[in-house]
Each structure stands twice: as C-alpha cells, then as structure tokens.
Amino acid sequence: QVQLVESGGGLVQAGGSLRLSCAASGRTFSSYNMAWFRQAPGKEREFVAAITWNDGSTRYADSVKGRFTISRDAAKNTLYLQMNSLKPDDTAVYYCAADSSSLWLLSRMRYTSINYWGQGTQVIVSS
C-alpha cells in the first residue's frame, strides 16, 4: 500500500509561481513511477507530468512544458511540482499519483486506471 499526501496549493496571480509537494510513504512506493494530474471544474482529470523514482526521467503534457518542472527527493520521499508562469487555465485540483506503468503510458492512460492517489490540493490562478 502507498500513501500520498499533497500540499502547497493556494491562490496566486497569473504569471506567479507555486510549488506543490507530495509526501510518499508505504513499504514499496519507490518501485512506482510518480505523476501529477489535475482536474478543473467540469473537466476530466488530466495528466500533467511524470517522473521515474530511480533515475529521474520525466515526461510532461504539452500544455505545461517549459513552465512546470517535476522532481523528487529520494531522501525525503517527496515528489514536487514547480509551477511557473501560471495561467488562469492552470486552475484545478492537483493530484499526486503512483503507478507501475511507464511514463509514456501514464501520459495516455485513463486516470481511473491509476493505482494510488493523494487527496488533492487546490490551485487557483487569478487573472
């Protein structure tokens, strides 16, 4: 079993930055790949970014490429999402996820197939 707890959401003006954190725990969480998804009001949950826990390879959605950076600190068992140049369209609940699928598959699979989820953290970007 893997437990994921997100933090760091909030209200920010367009053009601003936020950093989300996801504390991971559980006996085998380091064997999973990690990802961030988001869900805006009235929309389906969508892929944002993913990272392998072992070597730090990454993959991003086109909508956030160049603005968001996913990273992990193995010593702290924590996943991060640095979000810069935020836009109102980035407003959503952001979820941390863990799954054994490849980064390529994580970016394409339906969110209902993901193994583990955090509770989510709200990000609101005002214009």
Structure tokens at 70: 């996913």
Nearest CA to 96 out of 43, 44, 32 is that of 32
Q: Tens of pLDDT along the chain (127 residues)?
A: 889 999 999 999 999 999 999 999 987 777 899 999 999 999 999 999 999 988 899 999 999 999 999 999 988 999 999 999 999 999 999 999 999 999 999 999 888 899 999 999 999 999 9
Confidence (pLDDT) at 26: 86
Note the pLDDT of residue 74: 86
Report pLDDT for 94: 98
As given in the structure block, the two tokens for residue 114 are 């993901």
d(CA 23, CA 102): 21
3-class secondary structure for the chain?
CEEEEEECCEEEECCCCEEEEEEEEECCHHHCEEEEEEECCCCCCEEEEEECCCCCCEEECCCCCCCEEEEEECCCCEEEEEECCCCHHHCEEEEEEEECCCHHHHCCCCHHHCCEECCCEEEEEEC
pLDDT at 63: 97
Asked if 6 and 119 count as a contact pair (C-beta separation under 8 A), the reply is yes
